[in-house]
Structure 1
């Protein structure tokens, strides 16, 4: 009887120990990724975050911690340092700005922690474990080439810049200007920043209209500013005289393309970048080999093919 009782107790202890070991194993097997994002309120970046969340749902034993830097580089530094202290398995970083990014990557490298930079590229990004995103200059080239075609290779161009100093602002504008240089009868007559924002794009366009300068096309670094320009042009009764172009092909922008108000946009695959960034981070966390540069291509969108891109957001 006593032998039987001991046997039952031993068996019970063994079962408890096995359960505890299993729980510990489950905890150990779980991959935790820290996602340091610059601004939860940015519309395009919200789609990128959606892409990460969609991919996260397809993965077993993966948890992603999302933090918002509110466009504050010092806050993002603190968040990355917290991830390192928490011993997450990898970090996905969309830097607030490209000036602070190298320091964040260096801190992760010193902690021997994989860090994947997404969307915002900068000189020296190869120090990170990997980069996932699109080549900004290509968006500027594609956008301006289509505008040049629509204008027949001649006209006055107004360029709307995003946040000055952002890699996308610098390279998209550089791409625009490379195309303009190829056309002797095209010139930039106005240039200013609306900081990626629709309301600021509208205000900038209103100022440009008051300048009295002839504007044949407004070429914007993103769709939000382009939509702002469209609103100002429409209010002034001048939209039919101006070609407007943007970048991103957001759902809102595609409605404007469909209506014939935004003639050109360039699809930047926010969801693809989010999914790709998280996928690479998970692989790196598992110790798998990853490509240093993972390019998500841009695609030209006009009224002719807009329906195809509207389906992507459904």
Structure 2
């Protein structure tokens, strides 16, 4: 059994997050040029920005049925448009696994140079992604991981565990040494590994300052389920000091339930980084005081990496001669003090 203390574990996590931030900056921040739209493309600088052989990249993602997913596709398309050596084959977003499998099979038959794939279901898409790899087409897996390491050349991930850590650390700071604060949590879909990772990170971070989750409910990443779950939580918990909601899209419903209940005695932290939440943080006129970023740039990062891999290039800010196999993005906390830094990259819920 490990003898590492919780504080040391979290310090180690901090080092991992810092390294992930470095990897991300090498991929997406190699230029200061841009049009001010965080979801628009940034073509990079140095060797990576030089025009190379034209490559065809197939892109497939789930349907844009909420703000974060819509932002993923928009950012990917804008990123491809920023390069004059990329031809994007953009499949229609779908939540039908069989249709998404068919889309990838079409990419294989058309012999695209690379595939960027955010699976609706990572396990279900593993076989067809593996077939693409076996056909010599590099697959860049975005956000939802495949079941096999052989199904992707490179994987771009958010940091779900890190989201929980960031939310928990912020609450620990706000609690300022109090160990009897009442902490509540509104999770997403409990059966999903991403939700489990977020909750585990949250629990670990709270434990580091002697706090724990007293009341917890799960929603389903929608406005309706967010409102219903929050109403149930507020009824069951007459006193709350801090509340973390995993997802800003479902947070629209959570805020509606809070307003309907007339509750304002607690500090709320959001999750993902929507524009409406950031505007609320900036205005400082609701219980929402912070949110944790889960980047909606992952599809755009996938396009940038697919281009480099298909052209046989590396990331110019790294000494490594190959594009890394895993790029994990950071999960920073956004508050009134730093909201301007993240507003341009926010998505609309």
Q: Same fold (TM over 0.5)?
A: yes
- Give the direction of change, closer, same or farther, for the CA distance of 1:75–1:222 in structure 2 (3 Å limit): same
1:107 is displaced (CA, Å) by 2.2
1:114 is displaced (CA, Å) by 0.5
User: Higher relative contact order by CA 8 Å / sep ≥ 6: 1 or 2?
Assistant: 2
**Which of residues 190, 198, 203 in structure 2 aligns to 1:172?**
198
**Which of residues 338, 341, 345 in structure 2 aligns to 1:308?**
341
- Give the direction of change, closer, same or farther, for the CA distance of 1:211–1:298 in structure 2 (3 Å limit): closer
**Which of residues 172, 177, 186 in structure 2 aligns to 1:160?**
186
**Which of residues 48, 52, 55 in structure 2 aligns to 1:31?**
55
Aligned length: 283
Matched, 1:226 2:226: no
Spell out, residue by residue over 1:255-278, the C-alpha distance to the aligned partner (whole angstroms, 9 max, x if none): 12123321121223323x232210
User: 1:122, 1:164 → 2: CA distance?
Assistant: 19
Kept after mapping to 2: 8 A contact 1:31/1:61: yes
RMSD, aligned CA: 2.3
1:280-291 equivalent positions in 2, closer than 5 A: 280-288=305-313, 289-291=322-324
Matched, 1:268 2:294: yes
Q: Give the secondary-structure state (helix, strand or coil) at the position aligned to 1:246.
A: strand
1:193 corresponds to which residue? 218
Kept after mapping to 1: 8 A contact 2:217/2:233: no
2:35 corresponds to which residue? none
1:313 is displaced (CA, Å) by 5.2
1:28-107 equivalent positions in 2, closer than 5 A: 30-107=54-131
**TM-score, with length taken from structure 1:** 0.81
**Which of residues 120, 142, 149 in structure 2 aligns to 1:118?**
142
- Give the direction of change, closer, same or farther, for the CA distance of 1:124–1:244 in structure 2 (3 Å limit): farther
The structure that is helix-richer by fraction is 1
Q: Which has the larger radius of gyration?
A: 1
2:4 corresponds to which residue? none
1:51 is displaced (CA, Å) by 1.9
**TM-score, with length taken from structure 2:** 0.74
Which stretch has the larger CA shift, 168-177 or 282-291? Answer: 282-291
Runs of at least 5 residues in structure 1 that lack an aligned partner in the other structure: 1-28
**Which of residues 181, 184, 188 in structure 1 aligns to 2:207?**
181
User: 1:223, 1:117 → 2: CA distance?
Assistant: 24
